[in-house]
Amino acid sequence: MFFKVTLLILFFALMVGIGFMYRHSSKDVSGFVLGGRSVGPWVTAFAYGTSYFSAVIFVGYAGQFGWKYGIASTWIGIGNTLIGSLLAWVILGRRTRIMSQHLGSATMPQFFEARFGSTALKIAASVITFIFLIPYTASLYNGLSRLFGMAFNIDYSICVIVMAVLTGIYVIAGGYMATAINDFIQGIIMLFGIVAVIMAVLNSQGGFLAALNGLAQVTDETVSTAPGVFASFFGPDPLNLLGVIILTSLGTWGLPQMVQKFYAIKSEKSISTGTIVSTVFALIVAGGCYFLGGFGRLFSSQIDIAAGGYDSIIPTMLSGLPDFLIAIVVILVLSASMSTLSSLVLTSSSTMTLDLIKDHVIKDMDEKKQVFIMRALIVVFIAISVIIAIIQYKSNITFIAQLMGVSWGALAGAFLAPFLYGLYWKGASRISVWVSFIFSTVVMLANMLVRSSFPTLLQSPINAGAFCMIAGLIIIPVVSLFTPKPDQKVVDDAFACYEEKVLVPQSEALGEKE
């Protein structure tokens, strides 16, 4: 216990210390929200990855989907790597950095306003962001409760409040740079932690081949009558597995806290390096989490799904590990949760301040006042998320995956297609963006309130969210064909950034000489 407590104190002291170390870089809006657009590739890549993978993934998703799909749940991690990280960086990274700087946008709602020439779109996007980031933020704490209960026997409420307060301190003090540097450190902890945990759990089952053989012997006739289905290539339910892959992989393309990482990156070279680093990080962390979760049914004799829910699976798998490894796991999940929490509250506060309050509620806000309000709102958002998390835990309203599924589905469903087409296609109309916003928010709210009236496949918030994302990619071009064309001046101004001539090394482009 002394070792575990000492490790926790050192971890928290380091995080808070970095926050105060970078307070000088957060005095203006650009510094506080984007780190002055001067963040290097490794830090940006780790910030992207740690914001992507939280305790929701490690405890909630890995446990639930590992139980449902067996070793085939590893495909989710592979999808997160190839689609959520590699393709996201390749397709969005460079264009987002160039156009967001050209348009002077620091948030996704500001991008929609400048790109489509509509202040109303900016306000709508900021309201959607605020509403649906809150339940996602609240869901981050849930994974910690069982792990801290297992390791320290600490009350869940105390655990949540301590984590929230310490995260708030370093974000408020140091802004984006403190968050990004802490993300880098937390990312390193996650990399080493997940590898150590996988090795320890598999060794406890006799090694990889013995564990895989044991998984092949597991049967559950309520799921499938096929022998060895939980050790098979695609598992017992490939269609629903595909829905999870789409939501958790393609979803990152439309999440404000993820896309905003591209706003802050330093240079062209940084994007190339960041793409590689981010992809490797995702492969180890996401691939490792879902791979580990795939062996959950080997511990079925110790797990009561009806009593403890899917969120109890991973903590049960880890409960037999040595104290040293349990301490590492606690720090690993704290790192994953605090990095995502810091990203979410910074996104929420900057969006509310810059897109709703500035010019609409308070006129003539100088930079000092804007930063002050953002810091105040970080406190508000953290407090709200803590209250929701504690209420949800006490009343056992829902599982982690359901909260996250609704949030991701609404946000990515609403924003992904307008943002992607906004970067690449001049023909996207303003009305098509409105339709995308309204369609996804209505569908996900309805899924939450009247889920039983949905078709069976779409009753899952995971599948409903994946459906909204794909629907948005169809809605934008179809609606744009039948609605008034976008303002040509606005479009030409936005895309002018891609036409500016720059000098590059001979190795990157052919010269004009024969």
CA atoms of 37 and 97, how far apart (whole Å): 9
Q: For position 260, what pLDDT does the model report?
A: 82
Amino acid at site 7 = L
Question: Where do we find the tokens 């297992």?
Answer: 150
Half-sphere exposure of 243 (CA within 13 A, CB side): 19
Q: For position 409, what pLDDT does the model report?
A: 85
Domain 2-395 in CATH 1.20.1730.10? The answer is yes
| Token digits of residue 354 | 């810059």
Start-to-end C-alpha separation, the chain = 72
Amino acid at site 285 = V
Residue 94 has a CB neighbour count (10 Å cut-off) of 18
Give the orientation angle of helix 268-293 with respect to helix 156-204, to 10 degrees: 80
Q: For position 514, what pLDDT does the model report?
A: 42
CA-based nearest residue to 64, from 257, 243, 313:
313
Question: Where do we find the tokens 């629907």?
Answer: 471
| Token digits of residue 304 | 């009561």
Q: Are 303 and 187 in contact (CB under 8 A)?
A: no
The domain segmentation of the chain, as residue ranges, is 2-395
Q: For position 306, what pLDDT does the model report?
A: 64
CA-based nearest residue to 339, from 217, 176, 147, 203:
176
CA-based nearest residue to 141, from 122, 155, 127, 121:
155
Q: Which helix (H) or strand (E) holds 325?
A: helix 323-351
Amino acid at site 386 = V
- DSSP per-residue letters across 231-293: GSSS-S-HHHHHHHHHHHHHGGGG-HHHHHHHHHB--HHHHHHHHHHHHHHHHHHHHHHHHHH
**Helix/strand/coil for 52:** helix
Residues of the chain with confidence (pLDDT) below 70: 1, 36-38, 55, 142-153, 268, 306-309, 360, 395-404, 502-514
Q: Are 87 and 278 in contact (CB under 8 A)?
A: no
**Helix/strand/coil for 399:** coil
Q: Are 203 and 197 in contact (CB under 8 A)?
A: no
Q: For position 7, what pLDDT does the model report?
A: 77
Q: For position 403, what pLDDT does the model report?
A: 66
Q: For position 364, what pLDDT does the model report?
A: 73
| Token digits of residue 49 | 């990855």
- With a CB cutoff of 8 Å and minimum separation 6, the contacts of 108 are 125, 129, 256, 259, 260, 351, 415, 419
- With a CB cutoff of 8 Å and minimum separation 6, the contacts of 144 are 55, 156, 159, 160, 163, 333, 334, 337
Q: Are 122 and 108 in contact (CB under 8 A)?
A: no
B/e letters for 177-208, b = 16+ CB within 10 Å, e = fewer, are bbbbbbbbbbbebbbebbebbbebbbebbeee
Amino acid at site 62 = A
∠ CA 298-299-302, nearest 5°, is: 155
**Helix/strand/coil for 362:** strand
| Token digits of residue 204 | 């406890």
Question: Where do we find the tokens 């993934």?
Answer: 57
Q: For position 502, what pLDDT does the model report?
A: 67
Which residues does residue 265 pair with via DSSP β-bridges, in sequence order?
39
CA atoms of 11 and 17, how far apart (whole Å): 10
